[in-house]
Each structure stands twice: as C-alpha cells, then as structure tokens.
Structure 1
Amino acid sequence: MKQTIRFESQGVTCAAWLFLPEGEGPFPTVVMAHGLAAIKEMRLDAYAERFSAAGCACLVFDYRYFGESDGQPRQLLDIGKQHRDWLSAIEFVRRQPNLDRKKIVLWGSSLSGGHVLKVASMAPDIAAVIAQVPHLSGFASLFQNSLSKLIALTLHGIYDGLRGILGLTPHYVLSVAEPDRLALLNAPGESAGYLNLVPSGHPFDQRVAARFALFIGLYSPIRALQKLKMPVLLQVGTQDITTPAKPAVDVCPRYPNVQLKQYETGHFQPYVEPMFSTIVADQIDFIKQVL
C-alpha cells in the first residue's frame, strides 16, 4: 500500500511516499532519497515496491527545494540541509507506531549513497546502510572531469554564491547534459541514462543552483565509514565514470562490517533492467541477513 504523506524538516515541508507491506507492524523500514537533483519519481518507487513485497515499509522522500517538497529558492542543493532532511525523515519514521524504530535501514544512490554514510554517523541506532553506486570521494569525482569544465563550473559557482550572499535569485547550471554542453554531469551517455529515469510527461527541472559546484569536490563521505558499526552494503560499478568504484575498493577491506559488491555496470544501469533485478535482489538479501 502506497500513501502520500508529508513531514517537517526545520520548518520546511518535505513530500514523501510511505509504502506499507501486508500484515501487521511494527515493520522494519527503509528510508530512501535520490541523488543529484533527482526526484522520487525517478524509479525509487520500483525499489520501494520490491522492499515492500519483502516485508519492509519504505519512506521515499524529496529533499527541500526539489520535486514536490516545499522550500525556496528552488533547485538549491545544500549538502548540510539535505543531511537535515534525512534526519527529519528518520525522526518521522520513529514516531509511527506501526514502524519499528530499531530497524531502520538507510538507502541511498549516487550523491545520496554518500549521504547515507554520513547520516548514519550522525543518527543513533541505524540498523543498516545500503549505498548504491555512491558518491564517496569528491577528489576522485573531480578527476573524472576536464580542467576546463572544472574552471567553468567554479566561475559559475562563485557567481551564484555571490548572488546568494546578496539575497538575489540563484544562477543555475544544468544538472545533466550532453558532452558539448556545460553541466554537472556531461560524460558520454550519462544524460540519456539520467533523463530516461524521468517518467514520460512528468515535469522535471533539470537545473541546479551553481554554488553546489564549489562544494562537491570537498565532500568525501567515505570518511564516515570509520565511525560506522552497523552493517553496510556498498554496491559499485566497475564501469562507473560518474562515481568511480576505486575509493570503495581501496578502503572497504579495512572494515569488517562493510560488504562490497562490484558489478560490471555504469552509473545509471542499476536503476533499470536487466541490472535492476540483480542489484535490488542483493539489497533484499542483505536486509534479510542483517535484520
């Protein structure tokens, strides 16, 4: 059963879906949100339906400033505020009598795959974490881009940051585009992979406030692994040119609580068939093992 709900995060209302399995609770719950400027309609319901069929409730939400959630200005990607939205989503789950407050799994993909590691180090009593093709190292991600692109995005970011300081409307860049256009993601094939996740006819804002470009290179949530004691599943793509697998491959042997799974896939293939069924089956197996 899918319910449309809303919850508060620092005075801003976030839009969400709550998927409930059949039977009586309290149910273990997977809390889910998307990656870079994406919205919950971009295939997160497909994962939630599989988890619900396996007996887990799922809370799927949009960050403030994005999708159906409130907040101004629109399309402002603030890493710290997104962490706060995660914490508010967890608090919402813990207030529900039919959801098990001790069995909460955080699920993230791409940028949110990094978020769930960081948030799990901030929130008490998280049962497990699933990070799919996660952003782990800002430094590694920067090396996926040309110097000219990095300079251009930095200049756009500085301009937008100054507008923010002055209280002006944001200056935007594209979240994704073809290689001949400036965007945060413009590696060959990534635009099609990203935009194909948007349901046909669904409105989608392809912009992001440019100031985000000043911070992504400094964001390396892989450092949070050293603080985590709960089971963690990291799923990386050996052909991923957006969030490279190497940081996870190098670091994960140090942590006995981390399961690393590698797949011969790129960044966006895990969201759709045929890779989707393999990825989500491993996630369900992991949840059954740890819960």
Structure 2
Amino acid sequence: MPRVDIEFQTSDHVTLRGWFYTPASIEPGSAKLPCLIMSHGFTALKEMDLDTFAKYFTSKLSISCLVYDNRGFGASDVKKGQPRHEIIPSVQCSDISDAITYAQGRDDVDMDKIGIWGSSYSGGHVLWVGAVDRRVKVVLCQLPMVNGWENFHRLIRPDFVAGYNALFQEDRLGRAAGKTAQMVPVVDRDPLKPSALPTPDSYEFFTAWGKKCDWKNEVTVKTIEALREYNPSSHIHHVSPTPLLMTVATNDVLTPTDLALKAYSRALEPKQLNLIPGGHFDGYSGFTFEDSVKVQVAFLKKWLCS
C-alpha cells in the first residue's frame, strides 16, 4: 500500500515521526478518508508489526492509517533534557491526542472520522484517550495493559518488590542531583535478573526483533515506577458511547487475561470482545493474526468506514 514518511509536533514541541498509509485503489489526495491512529506498546517500534496491521487495514478498507514511533523511541525525538527510552503514560496519551490533531489537519483525512488503535501498553492508552478525547469515533484495544498496579505485582516476585522500591528512590535522588537516569533491561534470559518484562515470551519476541531493527533493550527505571501507578481502565466506562473493540488473548501472562476481561466487563455499550487463542504475542503474526485482524476490519467497517 502507498506509504509516505510523516512527522508532526506535539503540544510540548517534540517531533514524532512515522508513516502514513493510504489504499492503493484510491488516488492520493482524491478523497477525505477516515483515519486510524496507531501506536505501539512498551518500548516497541513501528517496524515491529505495526506496518503489517496498517497494510492489512488499508488493503481491505477505504481508510488511512497513521503509524508513528512513541517519543524517545525509534525515529521520534525526545524533549530536550529528558532521557530517551523513558515512558510516562500521561505523556504518551497526550501524544496520541496530538497525532489526532495532526491527522485532522490533513487535506486527505475526514476530520470527523478518527479512530485510535493501541496494543499492549498503548492498548491501555487508547482506553484513556478514548474516554477523555471526544474527537475519537472508535477505539480498538488489543492485548491491553489495563491496571499497572495489578500488572506490576503479577510480573514481579514479592521478594523482589522491596529491591525495586529501593531502586526507584535511588534513581529519583540521583536524577535530582543531576546524574544520568538509571536504566534496566526490557527483557533478560535469566528471570532472576531485574527486567521490565520478565516473561519468556517477552524475551523471545523482543530479542528476535532486536536482530531485525534498531530496538534497544533498555528502559529507564522511572518507566517501571510510572507503570505501577498507571490505571488506564479507570475511565473505561467513559469510553461509551464511542464503540469499543477489545482483543484479548486467552493465555496472556504479560498483560493478564483476567485483568483485561474484568476491565471489559465495566465498559458500557457499544462494545465487542474479540477473544483469540494463545499468549500475548500470538496476535501479531500467523493464523491468530489473520483471524483477529478480520474481526478488527469488520468492526472498523461497521463503525468508522460506513
């Protein structure tokens, strides 16, 4: 599908970069199309399968897709004086709203038909943005991280928590004294060593992609502390009356299945649950991807592209 490089400014003047996809069957600039804003999960880059989803959507629907790297990752910049590879959820949510503003300003986008799509960490972000930014006309939430406190304590062994609390304090004191932000690995083969995502499937997914793109196996310590305090599903009942599709894997140990289903139960209509087999990363490729993305296409066709 036709793809062009794009960049846009956030409300705090940071440049984010990505790709804008349009259907091959439509002459560029000849029509104002609905637009789906797509952002990736925890530390992931746009090259890590987001292009696969965007290509599929624009091959099946009369829709454009805006795919971008989160600030501080991949091709996107970071605010002066701030470290790269740091994730502050409220800032990433604000960046999604700024991506909507950019899309609305394009001559080839129908500004009244904007949807948002997020996966894993950004699957939580789109719940928040879909609730508080009423420009959003449809929310697609895939494999979402819905409750940071619960998720943190599912991933981190109880006897490791005190060590993390000490690390959070040490990092805050160091940064206040002008020291460089401390980093931890995103994944590690050894589950006894500290990492942000200490599951075997996380290690396999990210190390495989690290050989194919410019993904870095590091994230700031503050990122982990910010994850624990973040509860994106607290607003899930406010997404309505915007249509919501939540895709949940039946054996997700990274963003646990039961937490996602519990959050979904609190969402109001119109809503749709898309249960897929397997674990957290199975929705990105193979047969599970094909089955799941067909449901997403049908949902977009009904609610955004009609």
TM-score for both structures, normalised by structure 1: 0.94
Rounded to whole Å, the distance in 2 between the matches of 1:192 and 1:263 is: 20
Out of 13, 16, 19, the position equivalent to 1:14 is 16
**Runs of 5+ consecutive residues of structure 1 not aligned to the other structure:** none
Q: Where does residue 278 of structure 2 map in the other structure?
A: 265
1:156/1:211 contact within 8 Å kept: no
Out of 23, 26, 36, the position equivalent to 2:32 is 26
Return the offset for 1:253: 3.8
Rounded to whole Å, the distance in 1 between the matches of 2:90 and 2:178 is: 19
Residue 44 of structure 2 corresponds to residue 44 of structure 1: no
Q: Where does residue 174 of structure 1 map in the other structure?
A: 185
Rounded to whole Å, the distance in 2 between the matches of 1:220 and 1:2 is: 34
SS of the residue 2:90 aligns to? helix
Rounded to whole Å, the distance in 2 between the matches of 1:121 and 1:252 is: 14
Identity %: 29
Residue 200 of structure 2 corresponds to residue 188 of structure 1: yes
2:34/2:109 contact within 8 Å kept: yes
Rounded to whole Å, the distance in 2 between the matches of 1:279 and 1:155 is: 41
Describe how 1:52-67 pairs up with structure 2 within 5 A.
52-54=58-60, 55-67=62-74
SS of the residue 1:184 aligns to? coil
Q: Where does residue 288 of structure 2 map in the other structure?
A: 275
Rounded to whole Å, the distance in 1 between the matches of 2:178 and 2:70 is: 21
**Runs of 4+ residues over 4 Å off in structure 1:** none
Per-residue Cα deviation, 1:124-156 (whole angstroms, up to 9, x for no partner): 221100011000112331232311333333332
| C-alpha RMSD over aligned residues | 1.6
1:160/1:209 contact within 8 Å kept: no
Rounded to whole Å, the distance in 1 between the matches of 2:218 and 2:188 is: 10
2:188/2:195 contact within 8 Å kept: yes
Describe how 1:74-223 pairs up with structure 2 within 5 A.
74-144=84-154, 145-178=156-189, 179-198=191-210, 200=212, 202-223=213-234
- AA at the equivalent of 1:151: A
Return the offset for 1:198: 4.5
1:121/1:224 contact within 8 Å kept: yes
SS of the residue 2:186 aligns to? strand
Return the offset for 1:256: 2.0
TM-score for both structures, normalised by structure 2: 0.90
Q: Cα gap change, 1:52/1:214 in structure 2, threshold over 3 Å: closer, same or farther?
A: same
**Runs of 5+ consecutive residues of structure 2 not aligned to the other structure:** none
Per-residue Cα deviation, 1:245-267 (whole angstroms, up to 9, x for no partner): 21332343442222112222111
2:73/2:85 contact within 8 Å kept: yes
- AA at the equivalent of 2:4: Q
